[in-house]
Amino acid sequence: MFVTVTSECIECGACEAICPQVFRMNSYGIAEAYSNPVPQDAEESTKVAAKSCPVAAIILE
């Protein structure tokens, strides 16, 4: 599974809080997915993060 953060990110930090293994806030203050493909043991928390994003900026493929 691959994950992308779109430019819709509003910098809330939820995805990093839920799944720091995959998401981090970059130097511009927006989220990025730094672990692709998503490690198998992080797939569930990545899906939770995607569902928790208030602006649906996390795309799973």
* Positions in the binding site for ligand SF4 (CB under 6 A): 5, 9-15, 31, 53-55, 57-58
Residue 2: what residue type? F
Query: Which of 31, 42 has the CB closer to ligand SF4?
Result: 31
Query: Which of 17, 39 has the CB closer to ligand SF4?
Result: 17
Tell me how crowded residue 22 is: count the other CB atoms within 10 A of its CB: 26
Specify burial of residue 1 (Cβ count, 10 A radius: 0-12, 13-18, 19+).
Answer: middle
- Residue 59 bridge partners (DSSP): 4
CB of 34 to ligand SF4, least distance (A): 13
CB of 12 to ligand SF4, least distance (A): 3
